[in-house]
Amino acid sequence: MSTLSVTLVQADLAWGNIPQNLDHIGNMIKGHTGPMEVVFLPEMFSTGFMMEPERLAETMDGQAVNWMKQLAEQKKIILTGSLAIKEEGHFLNRLVWALPNGQLGTYDKRHLFAYADEDEHYSAGARRLVASVKGWKINLQICYDLRFPVWARNQINEHGESEYDVLAYVANWPRARSLAWKTLLQARAIENQCYVIGLNRVGKDGNNIDYSGDSMVIDPLGEILYHGPDTEDVTTVILEKSRLEEIRGRLPFLRDADQFQITI
């Protein structure tokens, strides 16, 4: 419970090719020799960030989700990333949290990227997902959510406990706005006194948009523990609970924060 290993799979995604992406990412994971407990995949890892859900979205019984379940069971890991999902007549940019026992958690992207017309093709989510593993609490979000700090705000409950310990973003964040990506990831870590994971893709997509990677793991003081290259990479970082508790104990800033509720 004192440590948690997080593995970031910074992949180049084949545009709209689900079988190729699943095969490629699977090989990247299987070829990694380090410890793996929670493995993060990019946003829309099976297709790329495509605005064609009518053609590409799958159900929760589809190929990509079943692949996640099988790989999680095979490697005895938790596997998470987002997919284009069709459910009850809606299309969703859905993060799936796949446990090795076959159980699933889900988070539907709250903030849809209107600049790329995502809001015209997908429906927004209305609830957060804070997953629990080994005593760690992980707030799971997607890409554009990073620009909205209220949605991520860590709060102290009536027992004096923080809502979460790790804030994670899976993304397709373009190179052209990489400064905002890196700056906001550090800001989220500092203001919420938590570890932050930002997992991004690399390469160019079918719209000729370039992605620089820049995946990061950041500690609760904003110190960078890992900064990914602009090439494909699989890296594991060990998070230390003692480091988190020491910082929160020495600098109890969250106790002074405003209390509020979000109304959807």
Q: Which two tokens stand for residue 206?
A: 């079918």
SS3 194: coil
Q: What tokens does 151 get?
A: 């949605």
Pick left, alpha or beta for residue 102 (phi over 0 → left; psi -120 to 50 → alpha; otherwise beta).
left
**30: helix, coil or strand?**
helix
Phi, psi of 91 (to 5 degrees): -105, 135
The residue from 37, 43, 58, 118 that is catalytic is 43
- Find the catalytic residue in 118, 143, 182, 194: 143
Q: Collapsing DSSP states into helix, strand and coil, what is residue 21?
A: helix
Verify whether residue 43 is a known catalytic residue. yes
Separation CA 246–CA 118 (nearest Å): 41
CB atoms within 10 A of CB 166: 25
Cα 126–Cα 91–Cα 74 angle in degrees, nearest 5: 90
Cα 27 to Cα 7: distance, rounded to the nearest angstrom: 14
In eight-state DSSP terms, residue 134 is T
Q: Are 86 and 57 in contact (CB under 8 A)?
A: yes
Determine which one of 37, 58, 109, 182 is catalytic.
Answer: 109
Residue 48: strand pairing partners: none
Q: Catalytic residue numbers? A: 43, 109, 143
